[in-house]
Amino acid sequence: MYTKPTTPMNNNALSISGMYDPLTQLYNKELFTQVADSLLRISIRQKMPVSLAMIYFAHYASLKDKYGNSAADNLIRESAHLLQSISRDSDVLSHYSEDKFALLLYNCNYISSKIVAERIQKHVKEDLGNQQHEVSITIGLAEFDARYASSKDNISDQLVHDALESLTKV
């Protein structure tokens, strides 16, 4: 019986597959940073407002401890699908870390980002909150402005930092 020989993936395919989160198929942190930096530099030239929402799943660790990795992974997968379904095409969504998503909101100022955050809270409560375990999120917001533009490297780093800082102020 003849079997077609398989060829290993080339380096480009391997590097591309490593840019996406295997659980959610969203951008991982590294690809998010690259894309965000590019969009933020474009927003400087176009004088376009950009905001960032860092979405933190507060009970992720306790869910993982109580129900196991499978339940926690299902929550993250379902959350990714939900966030994708309510995001605009121009938004950049990432599974940023185990219990956090990053949502870069292009052409969206801070006031508009608060409306987006409220909409996300509502959908999470309605669509994910009816499960057998508690699902709650906290959303930290930050708006990109000129003070970030002086950074030569990852200009998104300070924006992420500020959004994460605002998580504790909610």
The one-letter amino acid at 61 = A
Question: What DSSP line would sit under 19-82, residue for residue?
Answer: TB-TTT-SB-HHHHHHHHHHHHHHHHHHT--EEEEEEEETTHHHHHHHH-HHHHHHHHHHHHHH
Active site residue 89: no
Nearest to 76 by CA among 25, 15, 19: 25
Catalytic pick among 99, 127, 157, 162: 99
Catalytic site positions: 99
